[in-house]
Amino acid sequence: MMNKAVLLPPLLATGLCLLSPPSYGETDEIEHIEVHGQRHVGQWMGEIQAPTPTPDVADWLKAMPGADVNKNGPVSGIAQYRGLYGDRVSVSVAGRPVVGAGPNAMDAPLSYAPAINTEQLQVFRGVAPVSAGIDTLGGAVSSQAYQADFTMGQDLAINGETRAGYQDNARASDLAGRLHLSSQDHGAVLFVEDLYGRDDQEDGDGRDIQPTEYHKRSGGVDYRYRLAAGYMGGEYQYLDTKDAGTPALPMDIDYIRTHRMALKGGYQTVLGEVTALVGYTDADHVMDNYRLRQNSSPQRYRKTKATSDSVDWRLTLAHELNTETKQTQTLLFGLDGVISNHDATITNPNNAMFLVENFNDVEDRRFGAFVEWQGSRQGWDWLGGARVKYVEADAGDIYHSAAMMNPNIAGLMQDFNQADKSVDDTLADIAFVTGYQLAPRWRGVVGLGIKQRAAAYQERYLWLPMQSTGGLADGKTYVGDINLDPETAWQIDLGLDYLSDDWFISPRVFYQRIDDYIQGTPVTDDAVLNVAAMMGGEEPLQFSNLDAELYGADLSWYGQLSTAWTIGGQATYIRGKRRDIDDNLYRIAPPNMGVYLQYEISQWQMALHWHGYAAQDDVSATNNEKTTAGYAIVGFELNYHWQSGVEVSAGVENLLDHAYQDHLAGYNRVNGSELALAERLPGTGRTVWLQGHYLF
């Protein structure tokens, strides 16, 4: 059950292994390529298929054209696609949306995807289909887990994988295992994973990046029972993250304990295949600013307890239409939704009187219904769909223990508690992607979309100037606006694909105009300004509606130089601008490109890879964003595979021990470290790693 893509894992960690080509008829399997493309009715859907020596699956996104990751800590990576991130990008894990516990995305959605149980990480390139998620304005990422399956015979079949690895930088280890059990009527997948970074990571100058230690454990089971014309089953996952640093944020992870469970099934009816899933998530999260980082003022100790629970569901019917030309077309009908509840309370362990209700009884309810039409005819193929969404949100009253002594805090608290906090939006998404065979080796692709997104709960209900901003990590405090208008994006994606027996080239250009884009703008309320000044922060921002645009291009390519040598690469350029004033959007990935060269003979593989980032000078003045210089990273790896199922890999990342700053890594928020306060966080220095697998 282990795919070949497990070989040369660090190519994914560094983002240098790019899309390899599919065929336009039967799919040609390319041996030992970690990332491959799959034609998906006119668009390319990249798939990443291997675990990597990294504690965060979000790092795999660096391997995809147009994609990247906002790193706030070693296990707190936020997906970015073509300049958009956070709630704008739909992220699903094992077919389900993810609702994190914390208001600052320390448990970002992909942190719930254990590498040992991740079969593929899919990124929909271009305009994402409406079936990919409720909110796909910024694209869609899907972490596909290994699923329980059945065997044809009565005998019990057992197979699986074990993995062990070590990295010298941070003295990090990983131990994991996955077991597949299957018979004619029963199937189960069980997995466990333990990721442990004992020390802080070091940068290329030998400085400790404090705190970047972590300890993350997860385990789970997926079970299925065969029915006459389908299956039924359930799944459960437990995640336990503790003592994990997030130096780009004002606090670190004390612990995150989450239970995710679901009942699911599928059945073949006369109308088509019906699938159903209902899930529940319960998450408990504690963070603080004194256990993993220096804090010399006991009165400034802060501890936040955040909890969330959610119910999600999805019901679909896939109905096939047989046309007169005998080409199958499919109509997909679906209903889905998520109902979540959030609370976050801030205390001081040295002052029992101090209490701030940051979020209280926050409710976020999102309901969707969609239809998609997929088909092909005379050189054309297409995927088009429409979605209707209804979003409701509400919040309870809040409290601050200092309100009796501070009239500004009292005024903000009173205004929020007396406001009508119940809001609702009715929205719609439309997406259409089509491809046409221009010539035997050439294919054109066009994608069009209109997407909408309602504000996240932090953007609405952050009543006091705080940094609970979904992981923005710009060092600024924000307040929300209950009555934010929904965002509306107008999207176009144009592409051309060339495919021969040995070469594949796939460029894309895109443009996205977003009306009522939600971003922080300078606060004018005197009470908010006075509270922010009292707290010693920079001038606060308020989430507001404005107008923006993003445009750019990305490219993936692959070549088979000989039976032993392959080469590939990717390039990405993204520009994000405000349309209302002369300013840039915040935290946009710099132009970058990567190239890898791989040699394979018998049971040996070797690869050399290079990834370069240009300087990023197009930064947001509103967010006081700092520029970054360009840099390039080189890596090398070696792999040997025995016929017995044993694989051993070794490699070096950042081979030249280059000191650099990742533009998406945020700023240092930690006092007393070797890094200056507000300094752009550096990337990790040279890392030597060793990893072994046993497949049975």
Res 643: pLDDT: 87
Beta bridge partners of 584: 577
- Residue 455 per-residue DSSP state: P
Position 17 confidence tier, pLDDT thresholds 50, 70, 90: very low
* Arithmetic mean of pLDDT, 290-301: 96
Q: Max alpha carbon distance in the chain (Å)?
A: 78
Structure tokens at 326: 């005998």
pLDDT by residue (tens digit) across 171-224?
999 999 999 999 999 999 999 999 999 999 999 999 999 999 999 999 999 999
Residue 622: phi, psi to the nearest 5? -60, -40
Position 388 confidence tier, pLDDT thresholds 50, 70, 90: very high
The length of the chain is: 696
Please give the Cα distance from 392 to 362 (Å, whole number). Answer: 11
Res 41: pLDDT: 38
Name, in order, each residue with C-beta under 8 angstroms of 15's C-beta and a sequence gap of 6 or more: 59, 61, 62, 63, 64, 68, 570, 594, 611
Contact, 330 vs 316, CB < 8 A? no
Contact, 381 vs 337, CB < 8 A? no
Res 375: pLDDT: 93
Please give the Cα distance from 72 to 478 (Å, whole number). Answer: 18
pLDDT of 56 higher than 60 = yes
Closest CA to 145 of 126, 171, 122: 122
Position 325 confidence tier, pLDDT thresholds 50, 70, 90: low
* Arithmetic mean of pLDDT, 362-381: 95
Res 26: pLDDT: 34
* Arithmetic mean of pLDDT, 429-440: 96
Position of tokens 């020390």? Answer: 199
Res 547: pLDDT: 98
Position 46 confidence tier, pLDDT thresholds 50, 70, 90: low
**pTM value surpassing 0.85:** yes
pLDDT of 484 higher than 90 = yes
pLDDT of 43 higher than 50 = no
The one-letter amino acid at 4: K
Structure tokens at 553: 């291009």
Position 30 confidence tier, pLDDT thresholds 50, 70, 90: very low
Structure tokens at 42: 């006119």
Position 47 confidence tier, pLDDT thresholds 50, 70, 90: low
pLDDT by residue (tens digit) across 579-632?
999 999 999 999 999 999 999 999 999 999 999 999 999 999 999 999 999 999
Res 631: pLDDT: 98
Position 537 confidence tier, pLDDT thresholds 50, 70, 90: confident
* Arithmetic mean of pLDDT, 433-457: 97
Contact, 438 vs 501, CB < 8 A? no
Please give the Cα distance from 207 to 683 (Å, whole number). Answer: 11
Please give the Cα distance from 135 to 99 (Å, whole number). Answer: 13
Please give the Cα distance from 122 to 5 (Å, whole number). Answer: 14
Res 8: pLDDT: 27
Q: Kindly provide the residue ranges of all beta strands, DSSP E only, lying in 270-379, ordered along the sequence.
A: 272-288, 303-322, 328-348, 351-377
Contact, 214 vs 246, CB < 8 A? no
Res 52: pLDDT: 57
Res 21: pLDDT: 36
Res 53: pLDDT: 80
Res 688: pLDDT: 97
The one-letter amino acid at 665: A
Please give the Cα distance from 596 to 599 (Å, whole number). Answer: 10
* Arithmetic mean of pLDDT, 94-100: 95
Cβ-in-10-Å burial (0-12, 13-18, 19+) of 133 comes to buried
Res 538: pLDDT: 79
pLDDT by residue (tens digit) across 251-290?
999 999 999 999 999 999 999 999 999 999 999 999 999 9
Please give the Cα distance from 232 to 227 (Å, whole number). Answer: 7
pLDDT of 483 higher than 70 = yes
pLDDT by residue (tens digit) across 339-370?
999 999 999 999 999 999 999 999 999 999 99
pLDDT of 2 higher than 70 = no
What does pLDDT average to over the chain?
A: 91
Position 324 confidence tier, pLDDT thresholds 50, 70, 90: low
pLDDT by residue (tens digit) across 134-151?
999 999 999 999 999 999
Res 535: pLDDT: 86
Q: Regarding predicted confidence, which is higher, 46 or 186?
A: 186
Closest CA to 252 of 97, 125, 80, 76: 76
* Arithmetic mean of pLDDT, 400-406: 96
The one-letter amino acid at 366: R
* Arithmetic mean of pLDDT, 162-173: 97
Q: How far is CA 316 from CA 226, 265, 333, 372, 535, in A?
A: 19, 11, 5, 11, 50
